[in-house]
Amino acid sequence: MMRAVDLFAGAGGFTSGAKAAGIDVVFAANHWMDAVEAHERAHPDVEHDCQDLRQFDWSTLPDFEVLLASPECKGHTKAKGKERKHHDASRATSWAVIDCAETCRPPLVVVENVPEFLDWELFPSWADAMRRLGYTLSPHIFDSADVGVPQNRVRMFLIGSLDGEVEIEAPHVEHVSVRSVLDLDNVGGPVYTERRAANTISRHEAGRRNVGDIFLAPFYGAGSGKTGRSIDRPCGTLTTKARWSLHNGDSMRMLTTEETLAIGGFPASYLDGLDNWTKANTMIGNAVTPAMGEHVCSNLPEVR
């Protein structure tokens, strides 16, 4: 059985997927203690650490063959078509992958991030460093909806191998509608109150015109806010802030933690012990969907 280390592990979506694929995850680390504790509750057999991974002593890691890493993505996500250079500190986490690879030389490295990672101004230098360490890099872009998760979540999986190119076929599972995981009996509160912002009311009315009485709309941002989003499709991408609201007739509410977990592809009990809606949204919004993690890890070449 191959062994893996999961860096920037968050609450453990990549770990869950790797385990489902038959990989033994032996170590996981993150800088946020709440996420480390959630990961440890879900995966008590894994060794954990909480610290800034840009300062980690990689020589202390247990033996492993697969490096899984999800460095911060917010600095790579583009705002108005431009790189968000004020997030240079978060983008610097990507260099921890280089440091770990240089010290440990695992046969396989899998980096998960937004597709814009490949457009990063310093990506050519980052990729050159990996190639100088002997890795062949193979980028893949997949949507979690294509593995049956009720969420359109497009992410890049960059596979580095010491043994040549690795090609993974894109999944093509039938999409699952978000309707299947929503509690439609919980309608929430009235839309038309003095406290509702004009933008919220505008999104509600646009959704009713374009979709019907029941739909999703972003609580902030554009996109489906101008049209509404049918619940007979997968949900739009979850983010670290509670983004999606359910509109039902003249009522609306934000998604519950249970619904958000299901949209992220996690079991309802996954965050048991975390009684904080805001933190739960942050963790799930950051997470690799376990089914996508399983798809990628199941198709990695076996190494010894």
One domain for residues 254 and 294: no
* Domain identity same for 161 and 240: no
State the residue for tokens 């929503």.
Answer: 182
Same domain, 11 and 144: yes
CATH classification at residue 29 = 3.40.50.150
- CA dihedral 273→263→50→298, nearest 10 degrees, is 120
| 195 domain residue, yes or no | yes
- Looking at the structure, tell me whether residues 155 and 263 fall in a common domain: no
Count of the separate structural domains present in the chain: 2
Which pLDDT does position 74 carry in this prediction?
57
Range of the domain at 115: 3-172+287-298
Q: Helix 33-42 and helix 13-20: axis angle, to 10°?
A: 20
Indicate whether 167 and 188 sit together in one domain.
Answer: no
Tokens 């009311």, located at residue: 201
Question: Looking at the structure, do residues 236 and 190 belong to the same domain, yes or no?
Answer: yes
Kindly state whether residue 227 falls inside one of the protein's structural domains.
yes
Q: What is the mean pLDDT of each run of 10 residues along the chain (304 residues)?
A: 97 98 98 97 98 94 98 62 56 91 98 96 97 98 98 98 97 97 97 93 95 95 87 97 96 97 98 96 97 98 86
- Tell whether 266 and 123 lie within a shared domain: no
Task: For residues 243 and 200, state if they share a domain.
Answer: yes
Check whether residue 207 and residue 271 sit in a common domain.
yes
240 and 136 belong to one structural domain? no
Q: In this structure, is residue 303 part of a structural domain? A: no
Strand order in the sheet with 251-254: 189-190, 251-254, 244-248, 214-218
Question: What pLDDT is attached to residue 90?
Answer: 55
At residue 9, the pLDDT reads 97
With respect to residue 41, please indicate whether it lies within any of the assigned structural domains.
yes
Residue 304 within a domain = no
In this structure, are 162 and 222 located in the same domain?
A: no
- In this structure, the answer to whether residues 143 and 113 fall within a common structural domain is yes
Q: Are 24 and 300 in contact (CB under 8 A)?
A: no
